[in-house]
Amino acid sequence: MDKVGRMAMLATAMALGGCVSHSGVRPLRPLEIATAPYQQVATTALTGSLMYEGQCLLFRDEQSGALLMPVWPDGSTFNGTAVLFHQPGKADQRVMVAEEFRMDGQPLQWTTLLGETYEPFQRVCGMPPFFVSRIRPAD
């Protein structure tokens, strides 16, 4: 292998090394949100707004001031200013960051979100997860 080839391999290895955290948990991708298969069960209704801080899309409960990390149904997306909420069998709905709305769903424990998919969210965001089943405008 010539000198240029070795330098290219070294540069590639260094670039890839920067993509892995020292703890073995991959970093969050820009605008990445936690998603999971849709769950219809809703045990809790909260009114508040979304905020995007430190690579984390969080929900601030208006009543308690608590911060939660929404886990959206699969198919939901985030573009930096709004979430496109996907509820199976219904038209997708847009929720803007900082806009007050109501979300119905259920609190989750990190232990119920198995797999390396959720580890970056737990490590970076650290807030309690909440599965979002339904959304609607705030009253």
- 74 close to 36: Cβ distance less than 8 angstroms: yes
Note the pLDDT of residue 8: 42
Q: In the predicted model, what is the mean pLDDT of residues 71-95? A: 96
The answer to whether the CB of 34 falls within 8 A of the CB of 122 is: no
Q: What is the CATH number of domain 28-137?
A: 2.40.50
pLDDT tier at 115 (50, 70, 90 boundaries)? confident
Alpha-carbon dihedral of residues 42, 44, 45, 47, nearest 10 degrees? -130
Q: Are 110 and 123 in contact (CB under 8 A)?
A: no
* pLDDT range class, residue 3, cuts 50, 70, 90: low
132 bridge partner residues: 105
Residue 58: is its pLDDT beyond 90? yes
Whole-prediction pTM = 0.81
- Rg of the chain over Cα atoms, rounded to whole angstroms, equals 18
Delimit the domains of the chain by residue range.
28-137
